[in-house]
A and B are shown apart, each in its own frame.
Chain A
């Protein structure tokens, strides 16, 4: 059987297959894909393999959760494939074994920019959704603390500020994800929105969400009421609640919003953030709180910081404590190979040199294969502060030197487009 080695020395997957399988010319070999589409059945044997998200799940489970680059990739390839990686597998195994009569556990995904925290979070949420949990996904908490054009003073409390646009948009997406739950869960008390509008006790949550979507002015308060209801009722055991927050460090960071008299708005004064903080408090039972840090959208943090202590700050760390930290790192050799084969399969690697050995090594060394969430061109030998966007439709992170020594032989002085020309003899 013809086994084309991607690059010598690390054709782990292909070598393994070559030894095991019998020669069969018509066999369609795909070592980087797995047919197991149910996240509950993913395990270490599926590590570094891509599983396909069905179009219905993409629409319902992830109306707003996926990173924008990954969404572009889904559109380009006409399919959504997620790689099974150890961080997600770890959290899923914890979720399977946890005791849901005890207070909710915090899980925190952390790692350098572009390593795959958001994608791991999405994988875990897919698992929760297929297991029938109620998924409360806040795709990016940073969007709630900056660039808000309309900041209304809250009608219910004097010192708070509402964000109608963000709240109503989030409620719409929430409805898309959890439609089947909204008719079953009932409110436990009466909510009065205005003189003429109120939601009685015992009405289905669908009405509450409708109220928030239609009457944009009270949507932030509706979000608060909704979170309160879910917190109270998750403990009663009918359903399990998964609270997923991406960019959770926004809840304890700073805002860039200003009041009309140009003074800064504090985080406590924002209704949405206040309610989110109450949700992140682990005083409720019957679910899990899965969060991911994010430096990319955060305000007033150094670009290089990625550890929980640095991004959450003192207050945030104390509130999140105790949590299960899950580090997310760059691609390993096997994962890189899998990604490379996937892109070859999807006809994304077009440059003839990217298919040869030195080309693929170059890309690896230059850190140009990135995880599946940003789009990329195909060549970018040049540098710059931005992550090199080559080889991948949707990645943010460099798969930097995985095995640096090997790369040094060929790669290290070929990097920048503005390099000086090689005048030295290369070691062949």
Chain B
């Protein structure tokens, strides 16, 4: 998912005249830029890029978002370390399984931790959500559609809270995350169960769907 805007719209202190910076290197290496765009860049000022942007070949926007959600007290370095260790742990487990598996089984094992992560996140995203709407003095849980951003955020939040709260306290975060991600990518585990519970609740409350007016 390509982000077309790197800084927020509503609370940005920048003059709207400022343009977004371009972190992707292929734009500069190839001749994809058209002449008018290049002219614009010569004249118009460009916003400063945030510390979190990267032009590395190995950077992934979803992973960066996950790191930000996991970060506490602004400790980005720690959050990144945990993420790196998580990806390493996932890869180790999968590669170990790969090398001890039979030939037929080898094709089914996904060794790339990025694919495992993306698959797990996909499996954890709810399709439909619930919101509290007041009618006649009572509050009803009404099923509503969710935007992509909201779904992604819910999946990430569930993964992180599940790992923080419901696991043995002596295990490291990266171990807990690795276990949960591997389980989620196979459609097992508590987070996927939570998603299914949400879907069931929405299905049960479908009578109230007309309370939604947007």
As a 0/1 sequence over residues 411 to 428 of chain A, the CB contacts with chain B under 8 angstroms (1 = contact) are 000111111111111101
Interface residues on A, range: 35 or more
Taking CB atoms, residues of chain B closer than 8 Å to A362 are: 56-58
Residue pair A350, B84 in contact (C-beta under 8 Å): no
Which residue of the partner chain, among A346, A380, A428, contacts B84 with CB atoms under 8 Å? A380
Q: A144-152, A155-163, A188-196, A371-379: which one contacts chain B? A: A371-379
Q: Given contacts A78-B96, A346-B95, A348-B91, are A417 and B21 in contact (CB under 8 A)?
A: no
Taking CB atoms, residues of chain A closer than 8 Å to B46 are: 423
Taking CB atoms, residues of chain B closer than 8 Å to A428 are: 29
Q: B109-117, B145-153, B179-187: which one contacts chain A? A: B109-117
Let me know if B55 is at the binding interface, CB within 8 A: yes
Q: Within residues 55 to 107 of chain B, which ones have a CB less than 8 A from any CB in chain A?
A: 55-60, 77, 80-81, 84-85, 87-88, 91-92, 95-96, 98-100
As a 0/1 sequence over residues 344 to 355 of chain A, the CB contacts with chain B under 8 angstroms (1 = contact) are 001110110110
Taking CB atoms, residues of chain A closer than 8 Å to B100 are: 78
Residue pair A377, B59 in contact (C-beta under 8 Å): no
Q: Given contacts A350-B111, A421-B21, are A379 and B96 in contact (CB under 8 A)?
A: no
Residue pair B21, A423 in contact (C-beta under 8 Å): yes
Taking CB atoms, residues of chain B closer than 8 Å to A378 are: 58, 87-88, 91, 113
Q: Within residues 375 to 395 of chain A, which ones have a CB less than 8 A from any CB in chain B?
A: 375-382, 384, 389-390, 393
Residue pair B98, A421 in contact (C-beta under 8 Å): no
Residue pair A350, B112 in contact (C-beta under 8 Å): yes
For residue B159, give the distance in angstroms from its CB to the closest CB of chain A: 18
Q: Which residue of B lies closest to A393 (CB)?
A: B92
Q: How many A-B residue pairs have CB under 8 A?
A: 111
Q: Which residue of A lies closest to B57 (CB)?
A: A353
Residue pair B25, A414 in contact (C-beta under 8 Å): yes
Taking CB atoms, residues of chain B closer than 8 Å to A380 are: 58, 84
Q: Given contacts A353-B58, A414-B25, are A377 and B87 in contact (CB under 8 A)?
A: yes
Q: Give CA–CA (A354, B91) in the complex, Å.
A: 15
Let me know if B51 is at the binding interface, CB within 8 A: yes
Q: Which residue of B lies closest to A413 (CB)?
A: B55
Residue pair B53, A421 in contact (C-beta under 8 Å): yes
Let me know if B49 is at the binding interface, CB within 8 A: yes
Q: Give CA–CA (A217, B131) in the complex, Å.
A: 67
Let me know if A41 is at the binding interface, CB within 8 A: no
Which residue of the partner chain, among A78, A424, A425, A426, contacts B99 with CB atoms under 8 Å? A78
Residue pair A419, B54 in contact (C-beta under 8 Å): yes
The 3 closest A-B pairs by CB, nearest first: A379-B58, A377-B88, A381-B56
Given A350-B112, A414-B25: 14 more A-B contacts, CB < 8 Å:
A76-B92, A76-B95, A78-B100, A79-B99, A350-B111, A362-B56, A377-B84, A377-B85, A379-B84, A389-B88, A420-B48, A421-B53, A421-B55, A422-B23
Residues of A that sit less than 8 Å from B by CB: 72, 75-79, 346-348, 350-351, 353-354, 356, 358-359, 362, 375-382, 384, 389-390, 393, 414-426, 428
Could you show 6 A-B contacts with beta carbons less than 8 Å apart?
A347-B99, A353-B58, A362-B57, A362-B58, A377-B84, A420-B49
